[in-house]
Chain A
Amino acid sequence: MPHDHPHDNGVSASGHPYRTDNDGALSYWQCMEIAVRELLVEKGVTTSSEIARQIEAMDARSPSDGAKVVARAWTDPDFRRDLLADASEATRKMGFDIGPMKLIAVENTPQLHNIIVCTLCSCYPRNLLGLPPDWYKTRAYRSRTVREPRSVLAEFGVLLPPDVEVRVHDSTADMRYIVIPARPEGTEHMDADALAALVTRDSMIGTGLPLDAAAF
């Protein structure tokens, strides 16, 4: 029988086992989500296409949106001031649809390094940066970041001298946070578009630093 891929002992050509199908029973909350969603559609509160559009809109958000915000803060002193005063308003004025999100921007300085965590769940500025990385939601990251942030940072490759204060922001309630990392040295000649390429997702969570301009 013609077949375009081999099935040798359930192992792929690269030697890895095939991922199993998700044939397990639905969890309680998966059933609840399906039931509520179908009821909302049946009762005309929303439609399946509207739900699909909202999922697409969320998936279209990415850290590159946040990188543009950071790069502008680095190059536009008035914007930086507005961003630190009210990050929701400043990002909306810049043209990002962040919905009802209430955002606080915290700025790294030579004396201060900020890092974001949500110990209670997985609060993250999704309406600007998109979905969080999986590790952000793990119990290890959530519990260790408030207890031993310097060790966590070291594992991410961020080694800070003792005279730099580490400030952990626990997103416990209604606010979401973005770190404005320090502008790398040697970037004086770069415009906002070029600078945005240096701003990584992790540098806006605080677990990383912007890329080195010399690498470009």
Chain B
Amino acid sequence: MIYVRVKTWAPPGHVRTPAYLRGKTGVIERSLGPFGNPEELAYGHDGTPTLLRRVRFTMSEVWGPDCEAASDTIEAEIYEHWLEPAPTPRTRHHAT
């Protein structure tokens, strides 16, 4: 599994990365695209071809200990430039 972390940027404009996922770590579920970068398309630019990833997060990662069910999951499409490599979570090492 490839772990990625969503960057914590907070730019203005037409951004398709939901705020509730910024700073959260997930795994790449599948890769899509490339698609024109919507942050550029929205302002009349050509839209740099940008890879789109579907990233899977656990509820516990996104919402912390008061989530409804820790192992339920959220998947969202995140553009490549919003993702950075993340280490495999330590708990995974202990589990294996």
Contacts and interface: CB of A to CB of B under 8 A. Distances in A.
A, B: real partners:
yes
Contacts of A172: 16-18, 76-78
A119 B18 CA distance: 8
Interface in B57-96: 62-63, 68-69, 71-79
Interface residues of B, number: 23
B69 A166 contact: yes
Interface stretch (A3-11, A15-23, A56-64, A144-152): A144-152
Nearest to A151: B68
Nearest to A117: B74
Contact of B75 (A120, A162, A170): A170
Contacts of A147: 63
A36 B44 CA distance: 15
A42 interface: no
Contacts of B18: 119-120, 170, 172
Nearest to B38: A173
Contact of A173 (B52, B63, B68, B71): B52
Nearest to A102: B32
Contacts of A102: 32
Contacts of A165: 71-73
Given A120-B16, A170-B18, A162 B73 contact: no
B78 to A, nearest CB: 7
Nearest to B72: A166
B20 interface: yes
A143 B93 CA distance: 33
A148 B20 CA distance: 13
Interface string B1-34: 0000000000000001110100000000000110
B75 A169 contact: yes
Interface string A100-141: 001000000000000000011000000000000000000000
A167 interface: yes
Interface string A77-121: 000000000000000000000000010000000000000000110
Contact of A168 (B16, B73, B78): B73
A147 B63 CA distance: 7
Given A120-B16, A170-B74, A170-B77, 13 more contacts: A102-B32, A165-B71, A165-B72, A165-B73, A166-B69, A168-B74, A172-B18, A172-B76, A173-B16, A173-B35, A173-B77, A173-B78, A174-B32
